[in-house]
Structure 1
Amino acid sequence: MTRPVALLFSNPVGGGVQRVMMNLGAGIAALGIPVDLVVARVPGDVPPLPPGTRLVNLAARRTVNVLPGLVRYLRESRPRALLSAGERLNVLAVLARAAARSDARLVVAIHIALRAQFANAADPRTWLLRRVVPAAYRRADAVVSVSRAAAAEAAEVLRMPPERVRAIYNPVVTPELFRHAAGPAAHPWLADDRTVPVLLGMGRLAPQKDFATLIRAFARVRALRPARLLILGEGEERDALRALADGLGVGADVDLAGFTNDPYPSLARADAFVLSSAWEGLPTVLIEALALGVPVVSTDCPTGPAEILRGGERGALVPPADSVALADAILRALDAPHDRVRPDLPEFSPDHVVHQYLRVLGVEADA
């Protein structure tokens, strides 16, 4: 029996990292290589799994509780390679491989700008990660980061030679993206006969995404023209963001619509997508918006947007945390004629990305 390739990530539903790992698993399995999707937990219903993949639920209540189940999985299933994503899971993958005495080739993937991720020294978890992550990552067989800028930064933060951190873009532009985008939009603001343009933001309601700056920018836009702002996502900042919108007098035109497993019909119908993040790695949703032909405006945050947008050729880039510049860029995007042409984005296609990962995982010869 052929030994599988294992992908370790938090859960099979949710944000950009989860979608990327599911896409990567589908792409590897499509080449006839068995794939185990090893997840810390499954919150709610399990989505349809790609053919050739198996879901392994470690059923951990907290991330740290992944370790015993992961050790057991490595001993029993004996994957030939393990790719993990997320700093805490990456550290646990290193520990589990050693404890299981597994011969799996281990690749850890960095999906965020590490310097910003480690900046909050007051958080005990961040303090611990800053000390544990560099030592753990040096024990992996390879380290991958999702953009060139993120890879360069990671090598510096981890104190590793630059050639030890390889940049591989995410497999984002898939047939499933376009199939889902063709579905009906669930939100009434996005009706085909609408007369008011709708801006879309998407992501966890957390400081990293800086939706506060987006709402302040939207208030400036709204003072000059009719518009609405739809934000898809959940998180700890919901109440503060709602209070901010109400306080700026735009509460009726801002909907914090919550998390959805299928945001693509809404994304495809938005008049513009806005990324307001303070930091990223390679923002998946920005690539998805481009692929669907949606006008985009983004902060030039570390890291990823400048590479995706080719320094501003594919969409506007503005400084992070600058609501005035963001509002001006949104107004220009809304006023500019746009024919919804979908650009060619081969660098983000599974065909291009999967083979790069297989080479790093050491299984290309079997594909």
Structure 2
Amino acid sequence: MKTPDRSWRLALFLATSGHSGVDRIMKNLVGELGRRSIAVDLLQVEGHGPHFDRLPESVRRVPLGARHVNSCIPRLAWYLRTRKPSALLCDKDRVNRAAVVASRLAGYRGRLVLRVGTTVSKNLERRGPLHRQAQVFSIRRLYSRAHAVIVPSEGAAADLVRIGGFRDGFVRTVPSPVVSPELDALAGAPVEHPWFSDPSIPIVLGAGELCARKDFATLIRAFAEVRKDRECRLVILGKGRKRDELLGLAEDLRVSEHVWLPGFVGNPYAYMARASVFVLSSVCEGSPVVLMEALSLGTPVVSADCPSGPREILQAGRLGPLVPVGAHQAMAEAILRVLDSPPPRKALQEAALQFHVSRAADAYLHLLGYPGCSMGGGRENPA
């Protein structure tokens, strides 16, 4: 391993739910930076993730003393002005905007790199006209003051370039750091539920926030169709406001006895590794982490062909069927095909190596200006 540059320090400014895909990939990135003994300051907003049971020795917590991202701006500006980290990495739009404002207030001279993990135009569709205009103006005005913006898929990159009108090479596609050294051990942990002890009955698995964007209603409808053909069970990991509605739908379709929603689970990989098929039913994504995780564990997948990411991750359907968004009948047929003829486990795992944390970390560190680090798996996207 290369000797770390002791004079270089990364500040990582995040404010997550504590159980999202962003949490998992940033935990993976921090873990990889720790393995390389790279100095990291984890700037924390009270009551927000990511949450770590234990941090690497080279990573230290820096509480910002506020419960909201915008309230952190004065403290963040003070930190940047006095500590002068070599680079600042942020994720999610409101955090990105706050970081740009704070860096301007501080006269910060280090590298500022933002990350956007979603397809921005799809998020804007759910806003009112004035909110959309304000958001687009904010992205164009503030994001352009950073050194680069990282996105996880080519589709998300093209979308952001179109909205922001950014200069050539400003938006960079970097695969998410998903496949970590700990993944196999986590996948091998026991699952304390009788369904997972009976391999004779297939388990269909979904995972994510129980919200409209994830469209688990389509998955439940597809599952009800699959059950007309064969005995199987459905497990959806995650919590959210749609839980009661989804349980009601399962009741209406008379499959509630075969559907289990356990809520948030700290280790989804043990469930993924034992599932017969993993299904992504989302209306939109940036580049779905759960799809990469399932592939890395060798679990067959079916996905909605939503913007953006699934088509790239599944190599236009070579690694798993893609179905139209919201099409429960097509999804059911795809699930049945995969159950009848699952792809080779090794082929899925080999395809997921592009999402290994070491490769992603190289690309992140290159964009952050870490001495001697090449771009690795990242790609720049033309404006």
Query: Residues 301-325 of structure 1, C-alpha deviation per residue, up to 9 Å, x if partnerless?
Result: 1111111110011111111111111
- Alignment correspondent of 2:179: 173
d(CA) in 2 for partners of 1:59, 1:298: 41
The one-letter code matched in structure 2 to 1:93 is: A
Q: Say which of 260, 263, 287 aligns to 2:265.
A: 260
Question: In 2 relative to 1, CA 162–297 (structure 1 residues): closer, same or farther, beyond 3 Å?
Answer: farther
The answer to whether structure 1 residue 101 and structure 2 residue 104 are counterparts is no
TM-score (norm 2): 0.89
- The answer on whether the counterparts of 2:39 and 2:59 sit within 8 Å (CA) in structure 1 is yes
- The answer on whether the counterparts of 1:84 and 1:93 sit within 8 Å (CA) in structure 2 is yes
- Alignment correspondent of 1:113: 119
Stretches of 4+ aligned residues off by more than 6 angstroms = none
Query: Residues 280-303 of structure 1, C-alpha deviation per residue, up to 9 Å, x if partnerless?
Result: 111111011001000100011111
d(CA) in 2 for partners of 1:364, 1:326: 47
- Alignment correspondent of 2:333: 328
The one-letter code matched in structure 1 to 2:324 is: P
> Which structure 2 residues correspond to residues 13-52 of structure 1 after superposition, within 5 A?
13-42=18-47, 46-52=52-58
Percent of aligned positions that are identical: 41
- Three-state SS of the structure 1 residue aligned to 2:172 is strand
- Alignment correspondent of 1:69: 75
Q: Say which of 61, 72, 81 aligns to 1:55.
A: 61
d(CA) in 2 for partners of 1:181, 1:43: 26
Shift of 1:162: 4.6
The answer to whether structure 1 residue 362 and structure 2 residue 369 are counterparts is yes
Query: Residues 58-77 of structure 1, C-alpha deviation per residue, up to 9 Å, x if partnerless?
Result: 35433333323322332343
- The answer on whether the counterparts of 1:8 and 1:84 sit within 8 Å (CA) in structure 2 is yes
Q: Say which of 251, 263, 278 aligns to 1:246.
A: 251
- Three-state SS of the structure 2 residue aligned to 1:83 is strand
d(CA) in 1 for partners of 2:67, 2:252: 37
- Three-state SS of the structure 2 residue aligned to 1:363 is coil
- Alignment correspondent of 2:379: none
RMSD: 2.1
Question: In 2 relative to 1, CA 70–285 (structure 1 residues): closer, same or farther, beyond 3 Å?
Answer: same
- Give unmatched runs, 5+ long, in structure 2: 1-5, 375-383
Shift of 1:43: 5.3
- Give unmatched runs, 5+ long, in structure 1: none
- Alignment correspondent of 2:377: none
Question: In 2 relative to 1, CA 59–330 (structure 1 residues): closer, same or farther, beyond 3 Å?
Answer: farther
- The answer on whether the counterparts of 1:205 and 1:234 sit within 8 Å (CA) in structure 2 is yes
Question: In 2 relative to 1, CA 91–331 (structure 1 residues): closer, same or farther, beyond 3 Å?
Answer: same
The 10-residue stretch of structure 1 (271-280 or 44-53) with the greater mean CA deviation from structure 2: 44-53
Q: Say which of 344, 359, 367 aligns to 1:352.
A: 359
- Alignment correspondent of 2:162: 156
- Alignment correspondent of 1:87: 93
Shift of 1:339: 5.2
- The answer on whether the counterparts of 1:78 and 1:102 sit within 8 Å (CA) in structure 2 is yes
- The answer on whether the counterparts of 1:97 and 1:104 sit within 8 Å (CA) in structure 2 is no
The one-letter code matched in structure 2 to 1:90 is: N
Question: In 2 relative to 1, CA 346–195 (structure 1 residues): closer, same or farther, beyond 3 Å?
Answer: closer
